[in-house]
C-alpha cells in the first residue's frame, strides 16, 4: 500500500504512521534499525528502495528516503508512506524536500522526528556522497555511513575522498563487493604448505576502486610488495596472484562471472565470482553496526602499493 501526503509535515507523517499501525497495516515492532537513504529526486530512488526492501527481509527496519528536490523552489515537503507488499519487511517513508528543505541541516531535521527510538541509524548514499560523510548533517546522526564510490560520476575521485576522510563507522560498497575474493584467498593461504607470501599482483580495470582496495588489503595484511596492474581483458577486478616459494596462488575471473582458483599440486577449482548486486552488499553491511577496522586498514594499505603499467592478460577459464 502506498499513501501520498503532498505538501505535508513530519507531524502529519507520524500521525499517519500511527493510524496505519492501529488499523493493522503496519507492524512497528521488531525493527532493528533505521536506514536513511540520501539521494537526489529521480529514477534512481526506486532502485535504492528495492535494494533496501530486499535487505529488510534479513534486517527488519524503517527506511527513510531523503530525496532532494529543486533547491530554488519554495519550501515544501511531499511525503509518501509505503507499507505491506510495497515495503518488504519494513515501512518506507519517502521525503521529498524542496527549497531550503532540499539539503543540509533542514533536510536532516526532516529525518529526526521519524527515527525509531533507541535503534541504531545507518546512512546510505547510493549515488553521489559528500566528501566527508561523517561531517554531513545526516551522517552525524548515524552510527554507520555507507557510500559507493563506483556509483559516483568520478569513481577515482570518490575513492580518494573515502581514503582521505575515513573515520570509524564509514564503509563503502566497493569493499563489500570483495567479500568472496577475500574469503577464497584467505582459505587458500590457510591450506598447506603454509608458506609466506613473498609478493602479490592484483589486476583489474583502470577505473576499479575494488581492485585498488583489494591491493591495499593484501599490502596491509601480508606486509609484502603488492603491484596494482591494469587488466587487458575482463570487467572490474580480474586477477590476484600471490607468489610463494612452492609456486603461485592464482585467483582469476576474466569474464566477471566464473573464477578459477589455481594452486601448486592441486587441480584448478571453478568458483562462482559473479559481480555482487547492490542489495546483497547492503544486506551484508547491515549485519554489523560496529566499525570495520579491516576496511580502514585496507584503505591505508593502498598507499603502500605500486602501480604497474603493463596490462595483464588473463586467459579464459575452462570448464
User: Per residue in 61-98, pLDDT tens?
Assistant: 999 999 988 888 899 999 999 987 766 767 899 999 99
Question: Rounded to whole angstroms, how far apart are CA atoms 225 and 248?
Answer: 15
Average pLDDT score over residue span 37-45: 89
Q: Residue 155: inside a domain, yes or no?
A: no
Residue 44: what pLDDT? 86
Average pLDDT score over residue span 167-189: 96
Q: Residue 63: inside a domain, yes or no?
A: yes
Residues 27, 108, single domain; the answer is yes
Peptide bond into 193 cis (omega under 30): yes
List all residues 6 or more positions away from 308 whose beta carbon is below 8 Å from its beta carbon. 201, 203, 227, 228, 229, 230
Instruction: Report pLDDT digits (tens) over 196-233.
Output: 999 999 999 999 999 999 999 999 999 999 999 999 98
Residues 26, 123, single domain; the answer is yes
Residue 270: what pLDDT? 95
Rounded mean pLDDT of the chain?
92
Instruction: Report pLDDT digits (tens) over 114-143.
Output: 999 999 999 999 999 999 999 999 999 999
Residue 30: what pLDDT? 66
Residues 291, 202, single domain; the answer is yes
**Domain residue limits at 80:** 2-147
Domain boundary among 131, 147, 163: 147
Average pLDDT score over residue span 291-307: 97
Residues 132, 233, single domain; the answer is no
Average pLDDT score over residue span 26-49: 83
Q: Residue 318: inside a domain, yes or no?
A: no
Check: CB of residue 216 under 8 Å from CB of residue 299: yes
Greater confidence (315 vs 190) lies with 190
Label residue 319 by pLDDT band (50, 70, 90).
Answer: low
Residues 127, 81, single domain; the answer is yes
pLDDT(25) > 60:
no
Residues 45, 138, single domain; the answer is yes
**Cα end-to-end span (Å), the chain:** 47
Average pLDDT score over residue span 155-166: 96
Count: domains in the chain: 2
pTM of the model as a whole: 0.93
Residue 197: what pLDDT? 97
- Cβ neighbourhood burial of 44 (10 Å; 0-12, 13-18, 19+): middle
Residues 140, 203, single domain; the answer is no
Amino acid at each position: 500500500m502506498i499513501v501520498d501526503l503532498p505538501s505535508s509535515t513530519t507531524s502529519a507523517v507520524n500521525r499517519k504512521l500511527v493510524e496505519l499501525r492501529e488499523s493493522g497495516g503496519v507492524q512497528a515492532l521488531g525493527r532493528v534499525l533505521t536506514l536513511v537513504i540520501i539521494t537526489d529526486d529521480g529514477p534512481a530512488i526506486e532502485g535504492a528502495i528495492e535494494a533496501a526492501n530486499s535487505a529488510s527481509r534479513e534486517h527488519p527496519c524503517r527506511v527513510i528516503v531523503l530525496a532532494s528536490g529543486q533547491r530554488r523552489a519554495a519550501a515544501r515537503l511531499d511525503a509518501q508512506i509505503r507499507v505491506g507488499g510495497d515495503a518488504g519487511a519494513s515501512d518506507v517513508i519517502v521525503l521529498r524536500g524542496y527549497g531550503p528543505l532540499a539539503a543540509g541541516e533542514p533536510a536532516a531535521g526532516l529525518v529526526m522526528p521519524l527515527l525509531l527510538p533507541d535503534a541504531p541509524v545507518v546512512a546510505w548514499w547510493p549515488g553521489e556522497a559528500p566528501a566527508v560523510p561523517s561531517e554531513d548533517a545526516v551522517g552525524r546522526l548515524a552510527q554507520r555511513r555507507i557510500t559507493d564510490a563506483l556509483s559516483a560520476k568520478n569513481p577515482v575521485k570518490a575513492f580518494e575522498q573515502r581514503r582521505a576522510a575515513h573515520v570509524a563507522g564509514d564503509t563503502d560498497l566497493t569493499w563489500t563487493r570483495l567479500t568472496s575474493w577475500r574469503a577464497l584467498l584467505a582459505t587458500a593461504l590457510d591450506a598447506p604448505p603454509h608458506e609466506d607470501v613473498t609478493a602479490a599482483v592484483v589486476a583489474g580495470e583502470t577505473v576499479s576502486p575494488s581492485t585498488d582496495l583489494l591491493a591495499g588489503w593484501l599490502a596491509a595484511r601480508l606486509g609484502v610488495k603488492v603491484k596494482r596492474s591494469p587488466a587487458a581483458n575482463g570487467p572490474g577486478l580480474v586477477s590476484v596472484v600471490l607468489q610463494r616459494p612452492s609456486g603461485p596462488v592464482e585467483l582469476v575471473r576474466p569474464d566477471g562471472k566464473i573464477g578459477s582458483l589455481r594452486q601448486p599440486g592441486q587441480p584448478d577449482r571453478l568458483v562462482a565470482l559473479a559481480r555482487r548486486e547492490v542489495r546483497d552488499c547492503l544486506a551484508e553491511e547491515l549485519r554489523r553496526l560496529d566499525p570495520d577496522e579491516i576496511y580502514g586498514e585496507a584503505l591505508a594499505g593502498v598507499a603502500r602499493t605500486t602501480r604497474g603499467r603493463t596490462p595483464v592478460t588473463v586467459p579464459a577459464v575452462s570448464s
